[in-house]
Structure 1
Amino acid sequence: MQKRHTNRKQYFKELAQTCEKYFLPFIEHHKEIVPELNILEIGCGECGNLQPFSKRGCKVTGIDISDVRIEEAKQFFQEEDLQGNFLCQDIFAANFEEKFDIIIIHDVIEHVLAKKRLLTIAKNLLNSNGIIYVGFPPWQMPFGGHQQICHNKIISSLPFIHLLPEKAYRVLLEKIGINQRTITELMEIKDCKTTIEHFKRLVKEVNLTQLNEVYYFINPHYESKFGLTPRKTFSLFSAIPVWRNFFTTSYFSILNTRNQD
């Protein structure tokens, strides 16, 4: 496991930096970021993604099922003298009385089995002119199985091992000595795997419209984490279904509720 997965303040700062430089500008192509915008992040973690929006005077709300992450979000925002509303709730059971101008779902959908239901909830929480930003690592990308969470330098550094058959993958993790809790999490991620094609089908099924998309060969997160310069996937690869999942480490999409032609 890398240090940033245990040092949550570092992780918070890295997320805030990446959001400020990449997520926010991508969103702002379709929605001007002005004070008083109402923004919700689903699966917010410690809310690093919401920090740049709060700094611009937006009203930010983060919801996450982890009480530890929500407490960290409150602490980190307080330390930076920023305002935010943080809810420790399951999005599938939460009730909101308000609508949102922007909904962020970043590195979350690949952890959720009920993806169609999640997108439907997000759609129903949007203002009439609101947008949804979704970002996720496609399943077939080198570390699409999130094996980097392992407390093992070999496994956490091995690309594509998550593509092994389920039984072989589990046996490998057990033989290496990965603890059962981590194995369970990794197998859940394998069950929840998300490809770009699956996501696009779901968008159509819930009657959302895709306004924009971008394929990254080098994930923008890797700039703050590893010092790598983000690069978009070559158009030749991003145009080919299935194969683009192998050549894209992060996929961004902007959605709204406009009627499709």
Structure 2
Amino acid sequence: MQQRHLNRRSYFNELANTSRDFYLKYLGKFITIKQGLQVLEIGCGEGGNLVPFAEKGCFVTGIDNSEIRISQAISFFKERNLNGSFICENFLMHKTQLKYDIILVHDVIEHIKPEYKIAFVTLAQKLLSVGGVIFWGFPAWQMPFGGHQQICSNSLISHCPFIHLLPHCLYKIILRIGKENERCINELLEIKKCGISIESFEKILSQSNCKIINRIFWFINPHYKQKFGLPPIKLLYLPKYFRNFFCTSCFYITN
């Protein structure tokens, strides 16, 4: 497992930097980011993505179902003297009358079970204010590390591209041979069930009455600048389905 996944403060700072350098600028093309905007992140983790929005004077709210991550978000925001509201809750159970100008859903939709994805997207859409936008970011399932195998403790497996595309039973056997613990194996197999392609995501958006305003496919994920020092590179045109194998991150703006 990469040390950055263990050092959550470092991970928080990496996310804040990527959000400032890329997400803020990308969203700024479609909505004026200014003081007083209501910003929600679904699946906020430690809250790093929300930092630049809080620095701009936005009212930021983060929702995550992990008590540890919410506790860390509160602590890290306090360390930076930033204001933010953080809620530990399953988003699908979230009820509020508040509407948000910007909703962030980054590296989350690929973890939602298939049977709940439409309900998830529909609920996010309901929380959007008039003129507001939703930013979606996720890795195409078929891309080299779309299975999140980088969380494995076995360095050979964690650096092995496309291994997650193996049949379920064979994948499980390899993980056990690699001496991954049952918790890690179950998490990776759950991710395998939930992974999402570009085509299936756009179908869900259509079924949820979400309008695509813009999309960008990345060959080199912008966050890789923080992770590996690599410059972001957009994916050149590739045919449907085939593009999933080369798209390390998909950016969408919807309303």
CA RMSD across the alignment: 0.6
Query: 1:39-72 deviations in whole A, cap 9, x for unaligned?
Result: 0000000010000000000000000000000000
Which of 185, 189, 192 is 1:187 aligned to?
189
| Distance across 2 between alignment mates of 1:44 and 1:96 | 17
Letter in 2 for 1:78: K
Query: 1:143-164 deviations in whole A, cap 9, x for unaligned?
Result: 0000001111111100000000
| Distance across 2 between alignment mates of 1:94 and 1:252 | 25
Partner residue, 2:143: 141
Letter in 2 for 1:249: T
Partner residue, 1:79: 79
Letter in 2 for 1:143: F
Could you say what secondary structure the match of 1:92 adopts? helix
Partner residue, 1:50: 50
Partner residue, 2:35: 35
Query: 1:148-191 deviations in whole A, cap 9, x for unaligned?
Result: 01111111100000000000000110111110000000000000
Letter in 2 for 1:200: E
| Distance across 2 between alignment mates of 1:77 and 1:22 | 20
Partner residue, 1:259: none
Letter in 2 for 1:243: F
Letter in 2 for 1:204: S
Deviation larger for 244-253 or 91-100: 91-100
How far did residue 96 of structure 1 move?
1.3
How far did residue 254 of structure 1 move?
0.2
Partner residue, 1:246: 245
Query: 1:58-112 deviations in whole A, cap 9, x for unaligned?
Result: 0000000000000000000000000000000110111112110011000000000
Query: 1:212-238 deviations in whole A, cap 9, x for unaligned?
Result: 000100011110111111100112x2x
Letter in 1 for 2:72: E
Partner residue, 2:15: 15
Could you say what secondary structure the match of 2:92 adopts? coil
Which structure 2 segments of 5+ residues have no match? none
Partner residue, 2:65: 65
Partner residue, 1:225: 227
TM-score by length of 2: 0.98
Q: Say if 2:134 is the partner of 1:116.
A: no
Could you say what secondary structure the match of 2:142 adopts? coil
| Distance across 2 between alignment mates of 1:32 and 1:244 | 32
Would you say how many aligned residue pairs link Structure 1 and Structure 2?
253
Which structure 1 segments of 5+ residues have no match? 257-261
Query: 1:2-45 deviations in whole A, cap 9, x for unaligned?
Result: 01100000000000100111111111110110000000000000
Give percent identity, aligned residues only: 49
How far did residue 128 of structure 1 move?
1.4
How far did residue 139 of structure 1 move?
0.2
| Distance across 2 between alignment mates of 1:251 and 1:208 | 16
| Distance across 2 between alignment mates of 1:133 and 1:116 | 16
Could you say what secondary structure the match of 2:93 adopts? coil
Query: 1:191-214 deviations in whole A, cap 9, x for unaligned?
Result: 001000000001111111000000
Partner residue, 2:24: 24
Could you say what secondary structure the match of 2:36 adopts? coil
Could you say what secondary structure the match of 1:188 adopts? helix
Letter in 2 for 1:153: S
| Distance across 2 between alignment mates of 1:217 and 1:28 | 22
Q: Which runs of 4+ in 1 moved over 4 A?
A: none
